[in-house]
Amino acid sequence: MIVSAYGDRSWADTEADDPVDEESRFPDAITSGKMCDEGDYVLALLAAGTYDLVVTGYNGADFGEILGFISDVVVVSGPTPTIVDADTDDLEDSL
pLDDT along the chain (95 residues), means of 10: 95 90 86 87 88 93 91 84 74 87
Check residue 23 and give its pLDDT.
Answer: 76
Instruction: Compute the C-alpha angle 40/51/28, nearest 5°.
Output: 95
pLDDT value at residue 86: 67
pTM value? 0.86
Question: By three-state DSSP, how is residue 16 classified?
Answer: helix
Rounded (5°) CA angle 61-25-95: 115
